[in-house]
Amino acid sequence: MKADRREFLKKSAALTAASLVGINLKLDKGSLITKANAQEWMDEEEDLLQVPEEVKNSPSYKEDDDGTVWVRGVCRFCGTGCKVWLGFRDGKPAIIRGVEDSAINHGLLCMKGMLFYKLFRHPDRLTRPLYRKSKKEPFRPISWDKAFEIMADEMIKAIKKGRWAPFGWSSIAYYGSGQCLTEETYLLQKLFRCIGTNNIEGNPRLCMASAVGGYLTNYGTDEPAGGYADLDKAETIFIIGSNTAEAHPIVYARVMKRKLNNPNDVMVINADPRISPTSRIADIHLQFKPGTDLALLNAIAHVIVYEGLYNKDFVNKYVRFHAFTPGKDKNPLIGHEVSFEEYKKFLKKYTPEYAARVCGGNITPEIIRKVARRIATTKTVTMWTMGINQRTRGVWANNLITNIHLLTGNLCKDGADSLSLTGQPNACGGVREGGGLCHILPGHRVVKSAKDRHELEKIWGVPKGTIPPKPGHHTVKMFSAVSFTEEDKKRFGFKDPRDKIRFIWINETSPLQSLPNLRRFVEAFAKDDVFVVVSDIFPTRTTEYANLILPAAFHFEKTGVYGCTERRSQLTPKAVKAPGEAMPEAWMVVKFAQVLAKKLEKESDPRLRKRAYTVYKAVEPFIKVAEEDPWYGLSKAIWNEYAGKVTKGRDSDLSGATYEVLLERPDGVQWPAPTVEIARKGGTLRRFVVGKDPIATELARKYPEKFKGWKVIDYGHLHKDYRFWAWLRPYKGPAEAPDAEYPFYLSTGRVIDHWHTSSMTGRIPELMRDYPHAWVEINPKDAERLGIGPGDLVLIETRRGRNIIPARISTQQGPMEGMVFVYWYDQDKNRMINFCTKDAFDPGSKEPEYKICACRIRKYAPAQPLKPFLTKLEEVGEEEYLHNSELNKEEKLAD
C-alpha cells in the first residue's frame, strides 16, 4: 500500500505540474464549480416557503429571531425515522438540523439527512409530464389532462388484452415503494383493487418481506414488540446481517453512545461475513461463511437449552413451539404445535462443534458458547436487516433470532427486544400497514380472508366482491409477467398468453436498477408491448424505459406520514413550493381515477363497465379536496379515512394519531394508539405488555379469569392461544453456493453516503464526490493470490451477468476470504451489480436472495480514473427529450 501511495504522489505531482503548462488536463470552470451550494439552483426572486396555516399554528413551525423559519418533518433517507427541522432563509431551504427533543435521533443526523435540502431545486428535477408513444421516440411534454387521458386509454387497452383471473385483471400492475407516503400507498392500492386487480406490489418485498414472515409466525402479527429505546438499557446488543453504521447511522450512534458510556457493562456483538464499519464498536465480531447463520443461531439456542439457561417461567407461561411439515400442515403460518422436549430433540444436532464446522470463518465452539451465555444472562437487543431478510430462508432466519429472545425472555421488557430494522422510511407504515403488497390489505388485513375484504369494501362503500379474492403476483413474479420469456413462463406457470403484464405504474422507485438478475427485465421493458408509467422526481434507470413520466412533488413539497422501524408514525407537512408542474401522487390518483371511471363507463364489456362505479367510489371522498388543497388537505382527508376508519380496532390502530396530534408530537406516535389521549403521550412503546399496551390491557380487563397472572399477552390474530411461538427451523444453505466454476460468494450492500439507486444522493455534490462509483471489496489474501491491486478494474462474472468494478482492498474493512462485496447504488451499466445477483426467493416471503450468489473474479484492467454516471434527460430537439443513456449508443454491457 505504501509503495502505491508513493507512486500516486509521484504521478499526481507530475500530473499537476503538467497541467500547469497546459498538457493533458482540461480545466473547465463549469465542471469545477458544480453548484454544490443549493442556493445557486434557486431563483433569487422566488419565495419557496409555502406552509399551510394549520401547520403554521402548530409546534411543527417556528421562526427564529434571525429570520430563519423552521418546519418540522422526518428524514426520508432510511428506516430510522430521524426527525428534522428544515430551515428557510430568505424564503429558501437553507439548512437541515436534527430535532433535539425527538426520542429517535435526539438532534443527530447523518450526511444524507443534513444535505437533502439541496435537491429541492436541482436542475435535473422532473417538472412536466413527458410522453412518448414508442420507447424508440423522444419524450415530449404534455399537459396533466392529456397524460391522464393516455394513461386511462392504455390501461383499458391492456386490460382488454388480459383476462380476469382469481386475483383480478391479469395484465395491469402497480409497483410502489417504501418511500411513498402512507396516504399515497393507501390510496393507490385502494384504486387498483377497485379497478379490479391485486397485482399491487412494492419494493418492500425486496427488503422487509422476510421480517414480516418472521413476525407473523413468531408473534402472529407483524412488527416488533419494543423499539430503539431498548438500546439505551440493553446490556448486550447483538447485530446480525446489518451494517447498521452505514445503513442506519443514527441507530448506530445510539449503540455507540450506549457502549462508550458503559464500556465494561455493555457488549456489542456483530455477526457478519464481512468486517464493516459497524464492527468498529463491536467487542466480538462473528465471521461465518455466507448463509450458514441458521446453523449458528440454532447452535446458540442449543447452548441456551442444553445448559438450562432458558427462562423457564417465561417459556412455560408465554411460549409454545411450532413446526411446519409440508404436505401435512395446511397453513405454513400455523404449522402444528410440538412440545418443548421435541424442540430440544430438534436442537440436539446443532452443537457448537457442529455449527463451528458448518460456519467456518472465526466461529469456534467456545465463541458460540460465550455469545449464547451472554445473551441468556443479560438484557439483549438483537437487530438485523438485509443480511437476514434477503435470503431464500429469510423467514427461517428471522424465526431463529426471535426464538433466542423467546427462550431467554428477552422480550417485552426494558432493554430487550428482537428488533428488525426497516430499510426504508415508510416500508412499515406505508406498505406493511397500508396494504401495499399483493397479498395484504390495509390495517394488517389479508386478501385471502373474505371477512377482511368485506370489512374493507364496507368502509370504502363499494359492492361486496370488489376486491378480487386471491393475492396477485409477488415482485419477481410480477416483473417476470412483464418479461414473459419462455423461462419465466415455465418457472411461474404462465400458460395463458393473456397473463403478460402490459401496463404498469411504477411509483417512487427504480426497479430497473434494483431488481435482481436484471437483464431480462431491462430487455423486456425496452419493448413496446408494455406501457410503462413512472412517477418520480428525477430521471432514473427506470424512467429510461417509460412511456409516460409523471413529475412528482418531493418530500416537504407535499404532506404525509411515514412509519418507521418501531411502529412509529410521523408527519412531514408541506413547506416548499414544488417546481414546475410537479404534483403529489395522491392528487394524480384522484385525477386519473376520474378520467378512468368516465372511460370505463363507455365500455361495452359489463365487467369493465361495472368497474367505473368502484373506481369513482375509490376517490369520491377526495375529489373536492384534491381540487382545493392537493398539498395538505388532500393528504389529511386520506389519513382520516385510513387511520380513523381502516386501522380502527386493528392492532395497528392509529385512530388516535390525527394530524393535529402528529403536528404536536416531536417524535410521532407508536401504534397501537386507539385514542387521542394515548396518541398525545406517544402511543405504545411496549407492545403486548399488560398495563402498557392498551390492547393487552383491555384483554386482561375483559377476561380476568383467562389472563389471571399474565403480564404479557400475544394478541397476534394468528395466535389463538395468545402466546408467542418459537419455530423449529433446520439449517439450510443458500440457493447458489460457490463451486469450481464460480468459486466466490458475491454479496451486495449500501454505503452511508448513498441512498438506494443514488438518483437523489448522486445529485448532492458532497455525497457523489465521496462515493462517485461502486467498489468491489476483496479480501487482501484473495487479491494477492489473483494479482489484483487497489483500484484495479475487476471483472465479476456470475451465471447471469458481468460487471467491471474497481477493487477496494483493505485490512480494516471487507469480506472474509472467498467472498466479494459490491455496493449497489451505481447507475453505470457496467457497475450495476444487479445484473449479476440471483433472483431465487424465499418460498414464504418471496424475497430474493440478493445477499448470496456465486461468482468468479479476475483482474480486467489496471487502476484508472472512472467517470461517475447518473441518468439524465437531455434536450435533443425542440421540446424533445431523451435520456443521456439512450443517446449514448456505446453504452452497453461488458462482453
Partner 1 sequence: MMGKKVGLIVLSSFLLGASAFAFSFETHPVPPDVIRLLPPQYQQCSSCHADVTPKIYQSWKASKHYIANVKCFQCHGTFNDFYKVPPISKCEACHYQEVKTMKEKAPNMTCWDCHPAHIFEFHGKGVSSKK
Interface ranges with partner 1 (CB under 8 A): 4-6, 8-13, 15-17, 19-20, 25-29, 31-37, 85, 95-98, 100, 106-111, 113-114, 245-246, 249, 252-253, 256-257, 260, 277, 280-281, 752-753, 765-766, 769-770, 772-773, 775, 790-791, 806, 808, 863-866
Cβ neighbors of 868 (< 8 A, separation 6 or more) are 762, 768, 772, 773, 828
The CB-of-243 to partner 1 minimum distance in angstroms stands at 10
Distance between CA atoms of residues 563 and 891, nearest Å: 39
CA distances from 800 to 215, 516, 734, 854 (A): 33, 10, 16, 10
Give the 3-state secondary structure of 297-318. HHHHHHHHHHCCCCCHHHHHHH
Q: Which residue number, 85 or 192, has a Cβ lying nearer to partner 1?
A: 85
Distance between CA atoms of residues 234 and 563, nearest Å: 24
The CB-of-684 to partner 1 minimum distance in angstroms stands at 23
For residues 555 and 572, the answer to whether their CB atoms sit within 8 Å is: yes
Q: Which residue number, 364 or 813, has a Cβ lying nearer to partner 1?
A: 813
Q: Which helix (H) or strand (E) holds 16?
A: helix 2-20
Q: Which residue number, 283 or 660, has a Cβ lying nearer to partner 1?
A: 283
Distance between CA atoms of residues 571 and 427, nearest Å: 15
Distance between CA atoms of residues 504 and 172, nearest Å: 6
The CB-of-437 to partner 1 minimum distance in angstroms stands at 32
DSSP state of 497: G
CA atoms within 13 A on the CB side of 592: 25
The CB-of-37 to partner 1 minimum distance in angstroms stands at 6
Question: What's the angle, vertex CA 439, arms to CA 325 and CA 393, rounded to 5?
Answer: 45
Q: Which residue number, 770 or 817, has a Cβ lying nearer to partner 1?
A: 770
Count how many residues are written for the chain: 895
Q: Which residue number, 110 or 381, has a Cβ lying nearer to partner 1?
A: 110
The CB-of-749 to partner 1 minimum distance in angstroms stands at 14
The CB-of-250 to partner 1 minimum distance in angstroms stands at 9
Query: Considering only CA atoms, which of 529, 424, 426 is closest in space to residue 484?
Result: 529
C-alpha cell at 704: 380476568
The CB-of-40 to partner 1 minimum distance in angstroms stands at 10
Count of CB atoms situated within 10 Å of the CB of 750: 19
The CB-of-770 to partner 1 minimum distance in angstroms stands at 6
CA atoms within 13 A on the CB side of 851: 28
The CB-of-792 to partner 1 minimum distance in angstroms stands at 9
Phi, psi angles (nearest 5°) of residue 562? -115, 140
The CB-of-685 to partner 1 minimum distance in angstroms stands at 17
Q: Which residue number, 111 or 526, has a Cβ lying nearer to partner 1?
A: 111
The CB-of-16 to partner 1 minimum distance in angstroms stands at 5
Q: Which residue number, 556 or 727, has a Cβ lying nearer to partner 1?
A: 556
Q: Which residue number, 32 or 740, has a Cβ lying nearer to partner 1?
A: 32
The CB-of-817 to partner 1 minimum distance in angstroms stands at 21
Q: Which residue number, 406 or 795, has a Cβ lying nearer to partner 1?
A: 795
Longest Cα pair distance anywhere in the chain, in angstroms? 91
For residues 126 and 147, the answer to whether their CB atoms sit within 8 Å is: no
DSSP H helices, 498-622, are: 511-514, 519-525, 585-601, 606-609, 611-619
For residues 811 and 755, the answer to whether their CB atoms sit within 8 Å is: no
Q: Which residue number, 256 or 338, has a Cβ lying nearer to partner 1?
A: 256
Q: Which residue number, 102 or 614, has a Cβ lying nearer to partner 1?
A: 102
Q: Which residue number, 726 or 820, has a Cβ lying nearer to partner 1?
A: 820
| Strand, helix or coil for residue 761 | helix
The answer to whether the bond into 672 is cis (omega within 30° of 0) is yes
